[in-house]
Amino acid sequence: MQAAAMRALHGLHTSRLGVQPGHHLVTSGPYRFVRHSGYLGAILCHTGMSLTFSSPIAIGLSILFIPVLIWRIGREEEMPLTEFGEEYRAYMLKTRRLIPLIY
């Protein structure tokens, strides 16, 4: 999921929050279903590795990782609203934030 999300962004994915020159709204690939599919992939990956290794510490860190991502998603969604306006608002109505059909 995470790799598919990065591929769909065509090199526009960075660890820093910001809109890059030439950036456009991506609504294809996994972004058809959730707005933050890269973060969903990261959560699934971290959780899967924690469960695979049966590590209580890793499971705890995975659980702590989720609120941090939700905070980041809130900050991140401000940028496309400013940059893409109504186009992003319409996209928000069609997709969920992080979990398909739920959130």
The answer for residues whose C-beta is within 8 angstroms of residue 13's C-beta and 6 or more apart is 5, 6, 38
Domain regions of the chain by residue span: 2-9+26-94
Per-residue pLDDT of 57-98, as tens digits, reads: 988 998 898 899 899 999 888 888 988 999 999 999 999 999
Per-residue pLDDT of 88-102, as tens digits, reads: 999 999 999 999 888
Token representation of residue 68: 């941090």
At residue 36, φ and ψ (nearest 5 deg) are -125, 60
